[in-house]
Amino acid sequence: MTKQIFAVLVSAVLLFLWQFLSWSMLGVHQDEYKYTPNQDKILEALNANLSENGDYFLPGVAPGTPMDQEQAFMENQAGKPWAKISYRKAFNTNMGMNLFRGFVADLAAAFLLVWLLMKAEKRSFSSAMLSSLAVGFIGYLTIPYLDSIWYETKSIGFLIDSVVQWGLVGVWLGWWLPKR
């Protein structure tokens, strides 16, 4: 049991460290967000027109719009500008709780992977490595990649994260967990 707990803790730290480096020092995700010199004007307009925090897709129809009217509206919008907006009334610069929640999520992900690996009758370096990479690819394909398809966004940074962080965890678990 101690071996599995240690495997989970080190795996979570590896995930957390890569995520920190990826989003801060290495700039892996910098191409995913654009800068506009009009940001003050845009934020002023959003603040004047949006009353609550939330994620918005524009253009859209009011809730309860009949399906035939919604379909006609969407056909009319073809080829016109659209936007996906994440709006918050206040910018929160306190990262402590976010970092804590991120580490707890990494602990949970590491626990689930170790739990799955411990169910395998034959554990080897390669099976742990490939299983870890498979988990990373499953996460990438079903969340950021699908999002990039529907919203025409870039997801290469998330692919890099999936390969690197789950590859590091796979190397660690492949070395630490195999039956000897």
Residue 65 falls inside a structural domain: no
Total domains, the chain: 1
Q: Does pLDDT of 15 surpass 90?
A: yes
pLDDT score recorded for residue 33: 87
168 occurs within a structural domain: yes
Alpha-carbon distances, residue 49 vs 23, 84, 96 (angstroms): 31, 15, 31
- Does 55 fall in a domain? no
pLDDT value, residue 77? 95
82 within a domain of the structure (yes/no): no
| pTM of the full structure | 0.85
Q: What's the pLDDT score for residue 173?
A: 97
113 pLDDT higher than 70: yes
Give the pLDDT score at 1: 84
Distance CA 45, CA 175 (A): 54
Q: What is the mean pLDDT of residues 56-71?
A: 94
What range defines the domain where residue 14 resides? 2-34+92-176
Higher pLDDT among residues 146 and 178, named by residue? 146
- 9 within a domain of the structure (yes/no): yes
Residue 180 has pLDDT above 80, yes or no: no
Q: Is residue 138 one of the residues assigned to a domain?
A: yes
Residue at 144 is within a domain = yes
Give domain status of residue 23, yes or no: yes
Residue 94 pLDDT class (50, 70, 90 cuts):
confident
